[in-house]
Structure 1
């Protein structure tokens, strides 16, 4: 199981933080973080429910991480293992995550797929999202799998939808010509784009698009080794 103790900084003041696997007593705090992280117009029915969280901690507890700051849950990140084929990347969030219930978790999968990451707005200046992402990279390495992958929302795209295609928008963000609240964050975390996918998630701000973003394991590739 995973536990990492460290300090985050509010200006020059160090604040104790912990990243660990979340458990059932944390569910209320995790749902609160979802509500704070994804306010309307994000659909409230996509916030975690207790049954989903129970599946996370029972089916793949290694991929159920939360971060505490001063003893209070401030963010979380959840993943599952899937067998991803780069030659056929198209999918929806609902399909690949079992609508967040992860009953399709494959212990022999080659990819750690990000179901969700969220940080309460009160704590976003502390860099918690990047700490959570780094922790998931460590799990990828520990499990000797190919990559971390996930669909990143593009909440800035609705402002440009009449000016550029989704691919042009992603390209502009990657070139630094535009900044997107999610994609720019993922780039800063070391993720790289695979492609845009349509109808990924009901998401008005993103016009239902998402950018598949991956982080490849620098120490291992099942493609090169022929292992599964």
Structure 2
């Protein structure tokens, strides 16, 4: 995977490149995590070099990054699993705590581990381009779908009157807006359920929306 793009936010335009990340990118990838998840987010949850080493050796096709004018600006990581819609799981269980040692080379689901873009570059639509590139990877590898657990950071504002499932339904219908789930819907993802106890996340009340994109070339 390597492609060049022109990206714009309406006022600035830049040249971007999406490619597979490598060992020489590790320092910048950890810096992106630190910028994207500042304190009080615990620094021990940022990528570490042992995790990144597993990504580039175990499943490089799932290790994508994007640079803008030569500076690394974001990344997206995935692994292959075989999962059914009824499988309950947490992020740690699905991704081996981000180490992806549970990667299944023939797994039918391309499962998103992480998506991260430096705050200064988010207006350029890089997250959407990374997701589209991972859709292309799913097609290239013959996976039947792309799946992720998306945070629901707006849920805590409605938790006193809505279940997580009801909240997700309201967001999908456009009656409520969620910063993450609404973004994923705009990227072509479809909500298929809620994973409870997915990740320690006060804003989401530890829930995540299971967001799916189906490969249109596989029935």
TM over 0.5: yes
Are residue 118 (structure 1) and residue 125 (structure 2) matched? no
The aligned residue for residue 90 of structure 2 is 92
| Residues 41 and 204 in structure 1, CA contact (< 8 A), matched pair in contact too | no
Q: Which of the residues 123, 128, 143 maps onto 1:130? A: 128
For structure 2, list consecutive stretches of 5 or more residues without a partner in the other structure. none
Q: Which of the residues 197, 201, 210 maps onto 2:195? A: 197
Q: Distance in 1 between matches of 2:84 and 2:167?
A: 25
| Residues 9 and 125 in structure 2, CA contact (< 8 A), matched pair in contact too | no
| Residues 42 and 203 in structure 1, CA contact (< 8 A), matched pair in contact too | no
Q: Which of the residues 198, 208, 213 maps onto 1:210? A: 208
The aligned residue for residue 21 of structure 1 is 20
TM-score by length of 2: 0.97
Pairwise CA distance, 1:14: 2.7
Pairs aligned (count):
219
Q: Distance in 2 between matches of 1:189 and 1:38?
A: 22
Pairwise CA distance, 1:178: 1.0
Q: Which runs of 4+ in 1 moved over 6 A?
A: none
The aligned residue for residue 139 of structure 1 is 137
Q: CA RMSD in A?
A: 1.1
For 1:96-138, what per-residue CA distance to the aligned partner results, in whole angstroms no more than 9, with x for missing partners? 1000000010001000000000111101110000000000000
Q: Which of the residues 168, 171, 182 maps onto 1:170? A: 168
